[in-house]
Amino acid sequence: MRQVVGLILLLVVVAFLVWGVLDIHPFGYPPSDMDDYIIENAQEETGSNNVVASVVFDYRGLDTLGEATILFTAVTGVLLLLRTRKRREESS
Protein backbone atom coordinates (compact mmCIF):
# COMPACT_ATOMS: atom_id res chain seq x y z
CA MET A 1 0.00 0.00 0.00
CA ARG A 2 2.74 2.42 0.99
CA GLN A 3 4.66 1.53 -2.14
CA VAL A 4 1.64 2.25 -4.34
CA VAL A 5 1.10 5.64 -2.67
CA GLY A 6 4.78 6.43 -3.02
CA LEU A 7 4.74 5.49 -6.69
CA ILE A 8 1.72 7.72 -7.34
CA LEU A 9 3.36 10.63 -5.52
CA LEU A 10 6.56 10.09 -7.50
CA LEU A 11 4.65 10.10 -10.78
CA VAL A 12 2.86 13.32 -9.79
CA VAL A 13 6.17 15.03 -8.94
CA VAL A 14 7.76 13.81 -12.19
CA ALA A 15 4.74 15.08 -14.15
CA PHE A 16 5.07 18.50 -12.52
CA LEU A 17 8.79 18.65 -13.32
CA VAL A 18 8.26 17.60 -16.94
CA TRP A 19 5.46 20.18 -17.24
CA GLY A 20 7.84 22.84 -15.99
CA VAL A 21 10.56 21.80 -18.41
CA LEU A 22 8.18 21.84 -21.37
CA ASP A 23 7.30 25.45 -20.59
CA ILE A 24 10.90 26.67 -20.42
CA HIS A 25 12.33 29.39 -22.66
CA PRO A 26 14.46 28.33 -25.63
CA PHE A 27 18.21 28.60 -24.99
CA GLY A 28 19.43 32.20 -24.90
CA TYR A 29 15.94 33.68 -25.15
CA PRO A 30 14.84 36.39 -24.35
CA PRO A 31 18.04 38.07 -25.58
CA SER A 32 19.53 40.47 -23.04
CA ASP A 33 22.05 43.25 -23.45
CA MET A 34 23.83 42.40 -20.23
CA ASP A 35 25.56 39.19 -21.34
CA ASP A 36 26.79 40.77 -24.56
CA TYR A 37 28.09 43.72 -22.56
CA ILE A 38 29.94 41.48 -20.11
CA ILE A 39 31.46 39.30 -22.85
CA GLU A 40 32.69 42.32 -24.78
CA ASN A 41 33.89 44.54 -21.94
CA ALA A 42 34.90 42.23 -19.08
CA GLN A 43 38.55 41.90 -20.12
CA GLU A 44 38.98 45.61 -20.59
CA GLU A 45 37.13 46.68 -17.45
CA THR A 46 38.35 44.10 -14.94
CA GLY A 47 41.61 43.01 -16.57
CA SER A 48 40.70 39.37 -16.02
CA ASN A 49 40.96 36.78 -18.78
CA ASN A 50 38.50 34.52 -16.98
CA VAL A 51 35.18 36.23 -17.56
CA VAL A 52 33.43 33.94 -15.09
CA ALA A 53 35.83 35.07 -12.36
CA SER A 54 35.24 38.69 -13.30
CA VAL A 55 31.47 38.18 -12.94
CA VAL A 56 31.78 36.30 -9.65
CA PHE A 57 34.25 38.65 -7.96
CA ASP A 58 33.58 41.98 -9.63
CA TYR A 59 30.21 42.47 -11.30
CA ARG A 60 28.41 40.28 -8.76
CA GLY A 61 30.76 40.60 -5.81
CA LEU A 62 27.93 41.03 -3.33
CA ASP A 63 26.63 37.53 -4.15
CA THR A 64 30.07 36.11 -3.44
CA LEU A 65 30.09 37.94 -0.10
CA GLY A 66 26.84 36.13 0.70
CA GLU A 67 28.36 32.80 -0.29
CA ALA A 68 31.35 33.44 1.96
CA THR A 69 28.98 34.33 4.79
CA ILE A 70 27.11 31.06 4.31
CA LEU A 71 30.37 29.12 4.55
CA PHE A 72 31.42 31.08 7.63
CA THR A 73 28.08 30.42 9.34
CA ALA A 74 28.22 26.71 8.50
CA VAL A 75 31.72 26.33 9.93
CA THR A 76 30.77 28.29 13.05
CA GLY A 77 27.71 26.10 13.56
CA VAL A 78 29.59 22.82 13.13
CA LEU A 79 32.36 23.86 15.50
CA LEU A 80 29.87 25.13 18.08
CA LEU A 81 27.85 21.91 17.95
CA LEU A 82 30.77 19.50 18.04
CA ARG A 83 32.75 21.20 20.79
CA THR A 84 30.18 21.35 23.57
CA ARG A 85 30.50 17.78 24.83
CA LYS A 86 33.67 17.97 26.88
CA ARG A 87 32.67 21.22 28.51
CA ARG A 88 29.36 19.74 29.65
CA GLU A 89 31.19 16.75 31.15
CA GLU A 90 33.55 19.04 33.01
CA SER A 91 30.78 21.14 34.48
CA SER A 92 28.66 18.19 35.64
In the complex, which residues of this chain contact another protein (CB under 8 A)?
Answer: 40, 43-50, 52-54, 56-58, 61-62, 64-65, 67-68, 71-72, 74-75, 78-79, 82-83, 85-86
Alpha-carbon distance of 36 to 70, in angstroms, equals 30
Q: How far apart are CB 17 and another protein at their closest, in Å?
A: 28
Closer to another protein by Cβ: residue 35 or 67: 67
| CA 11 distance to own-chain centroid | 27
Smallest separation, CB 35 to another protein (Å): 16
DSSP line for 35-67: HHHHHHHHHHHH--S-HHHHIIIIITHHHHHHH
